[in-house]
Amino acid sequence: MGAGLGVLTWELSTRARQVISYESDHRLAEYLRRDLPDNVDLREEDALGAEWPPFDKMVANVPYSISSPLLFKLLETDYAVAVLLLQREFADRLVARPRTKAYGRMTVAAARLADVELLEVVPPTAFHPRPKVDSAIVRIIPQRSFPVLDEGTFETLLRVVFSQRRKMLHNSLGAARMELAPHVDKDTWKAEIRDLEFANARPEELTPEELGLLADAIYEFRS
């Protein structure tokens, strides 16, 4: 994901039968083509917008600016394991616990579809040029930890409640009728929301599994 000067790509090529590497910068891609071994399939395109071929393992120094969309794309992909270097702040969000500042939509989405482990914190001194922030290596193994009745309802719920994370759920959900249940009349919707098990909690207080149960309750009601 952004092969750059090829340092990581070279190392991987000595350990894998085939390596697929992305680099969107034409000058860097031309430089890499002259030196990379034959078992490297270098693709001169944006990794985020590309259609990924089948793969088993992903190893990447992820550009910090695309960490979130790339992770969502990865979680929807069939793979065995991913080892990623990410910005420390983003990595902390992936492994955060409820009732912490880092806990949020990304935490819950990742927890439902994968087992994420923070392996090592990497200081700025490990890089040249040095970034201004710490980085971290995380290992991601696909693992569907709990089911939900409807993916769309679950994803919309997370987006709604974590965009207003300090509000109690009966307030944030009560104002989200058009997004979650547009065919239900306003008074019925608000009454139903007030009766939900977690109505008086804030989203950051609930576990991923509890948020899944909440999404299921909303889906069953509106259906």
pLDDT tens over the chain, length 223 residues:
777 877 888 888 999 999 999 988 898 888 888 888 899 899 988 888 899 999 999 999 888 888 999 999 999 899 999 999 999 999 999 999 999 999 999 999 999 999 999 999 999 998 877 888 999 999 999 998 889 999 999 999 999 999 998 899 999 998 888 898 889 888 998 898 888 888 899 999 999 999 999 999 999 988 7
- Contact present, 89 and 96 (Cβ < 8 Å): no
Total domain count for the chain? 2
Q: Is the peptide bond before 142 cis (omega within 30 degrees of 0)?
A: no
Look at residue 163 in the predicted model and tell me its pLDDT. Answer: 92
Look at residue 152 in the predicted model and tell me its pLDDT. Answer: 92
CATH number of residue 195's parent domain: 1.10.8.100
Look at residue 177 in the predicted model and tell me its pLDDT. Answer: 86
Look at residue 121 in the predicted model and tell me its pLDDT. Answer: 96
Measured CA to CA, the distance from residue 170 to residue 163 in angstroms comes to 14
Look at residue 222 in the predicted model and tell me its pLDDT. Answer: 82
Give yes or no: residues 43 and 120 share one domain.
yes
Q: Which residues pair with 61 in a beta bridge?
A: 85
| Secondary structure letter of residue 52 according to DSSP | P
Give yes or no: residues 28 and 124 share one domain.
yes
Residue 1 maps to a domain: no
Neighbours of 166 (CB within 10 A): 9
Look at residue 204 in the predicted model and tell me its pLDDT. Answer: 95
- Last residue in a domain, options 142, 171, 204: 142
Question: pTM of the entire structure?
Answer: 0.85
Residue 2 maps to a domain: no
Look at residue 98 in the predicted model and tell me its pLDDT. Answer: 95
Look at residue 1 in the predicted model and tell me its pLDDT. Answer: 73
Sequence-distant (≥ 6) Cβ neighbours of residue 41 within 8 angstroms: 18, 19, 20, 21
Give yes or no: residues 82 and 22 share one domain.
yes
Measured CA to CA, the distance from residue 165 to residue 24 in angstroms comes to 37
Q: 198: domain range?
A: 151-222
| Closest listed residue to residue 14, CA positions, set 78, 59, 74 | 59
Measured CA to CA, the distance from residue 219 to residue 223 in angstroms comes to 6
Give yes or no: residues 68 and 121 share one domain.
yes
Look at residue 94 in the predicted model and tell me its pLDDT. Answer: 95
Look at residue 144 in the predicted model and tell me its pLDDT. Answer: 85
Look at residue 29 in the predicted model and tell me its pLDDT. Answer: 87
